[in-house]
Amino acid sequence: MLSDGSISQAVYQAQTRLTSLSSHLRTSKSKIVVCRDLGPDVMPLLTKRDDIEVVTWTEDCVCDREWLLKNISGAVGIVIVFSELVNAELLDAAGPNLKVVSTMSVGYEHIHVSELAKRNVRLGYTPDVLTDAVADISVMLALMAGRNANETMGIVREGLWPKFIWAPFALCGPQLSTSGISPSRTVGFLGFGRISHATLARLIPFGVTDCIYSSNPNSAASPKKERDEALLKQYQPQLKSLRPVDRDTLARESDVLFILAPGGPSTRHLIDEDFLRKMKKHSVLVNAGRGTVVDSDALAKALREKWIWGAGIDVVEGEPNIWKDHPLVREPRCNILPHIGSASFETRLAMATLAVENCLAGIVGQNMPAELDVKAS
């Protein structure tokens, strides 16, 4: 759990990093709009400065669009979350003073990057700091999907446990860890970046013997032989192999498949009906990346017709508009979380702090701790 001491230390470190920016700010106050209250540990990094005018949406709900369009005028920076759409309308309302958009997220599908590039507006985001939290969730979802968590917890929630008749193989599912009668496990990754590496590290104690991966189509890098050899050496002798494969092999050989690829047109519905039909009947699919990578209707069909064993997903195409009648919600072996991969106190504090640091560095033309190159995107 997050202690008061660790919070104080994190805030102190952030304040120390930001102090050097003060001398660079203009003598007149620079206006920054913050689209969500970032809490008592982070907001003072902005509000306690006498050289910044902070305008904050203080309601505990999505920032009102009309309020934002009105208050963004003249701002040099804006700190947003993923619910705010940054498009030409918002940027025009901001005017020529806007220098930086800083989002408290890794993804930036809510931002029209090309519009930022046209106006020479910089973009800050928050990668890396949520790697461990998402890796934790990924393993949790794999366990939930394999051991029928949603289905079996439903028995308790609905008061059916007293009527349940025990049987030798009732409610069983595929075990994530290896055993004497099942000594090998192959984990697959669609997308093999930081979060996938962290997830693999967590899986080694479960006895995983083989790792296969397919890089996402957006990746400029081809399979990295030296990196793969180093990872394999790190986890030997437990891990017997680590290799890149095509998506057909990824589908056919994975016992557990982790979807950790970014969203966008090039990855939309990479996991479709054709892919799912090739997977093992006792395989598990985990999606903690982006909902658009998986065709929800195809996954629901795969679960309903038992092409695969189960699924654990933290992201769904069309979220948050996922209602009770959604095809995946109706499937007992689909374990769905409402996009909480980064939802630990430690991670959200780090994300909020980084978003503020990005904004403050950006408005004075300094290097941002985490900046996306809008010209290259």
Q: Which of 24, 112, 326, 339 is an active site residue?
A: 339
Q: Which residue has the tokens 């969203």?
A: 263
Q: Which amino acid is at 207?
A: G
∠ CA 81-89-353, rounded to 5°: 20
* Token output for 145: 């999907």
Give me the torsion for CA of 135, 137, 139, 142, rounded to 10°: -140
Residues 6+ positions from 197 with CB-CB distance below 8 Å: 231
CB 125 within 8 A of CB 100: no
Q: Rounded to an integer, what distance in angstroms lies between the CA atom of residue 161 and that of residue 151?
A: 12
Q: Rounded to an integer, what distance in angstroms lies between the CA atom of residue 187 and that of residue 312?
A: 15
* Token output for 240: 């017997």
CB 188 within 8 A of CB 248: no
The torsion region of residue 74 among left (phi > 0), alpha (psi -120 to 50) and beta comes to left
Q: Which residue has the tokens 């970032």?
A: 38
Q: Rounded to an integer, what distance in angstroms lies between the CA atom of residue 176 and that of residue 318?
A: 30
State the first-to-last Cα distance of the chain, in angstroms, to the nearest integer. Answer: 37
- Look up 339 and say whether it is catalytic: yes
Q: What b/e sequence results for 311-324 when a residue is b if at least 16 CB atoms lie within 10 Å of its CB, and e otherwise?
A: bbbbbbbeeeebee
CB 56 within 8 A of CB 43: yes
Distances (CA, A) of 52 to 31, 48, 76: 6, 9, 10
Q: Rounded to an integer, what distance in angstroms lies between the CA atom of residue 161 and that of residue 250?
A: 38
- State the catalytic residues: 339
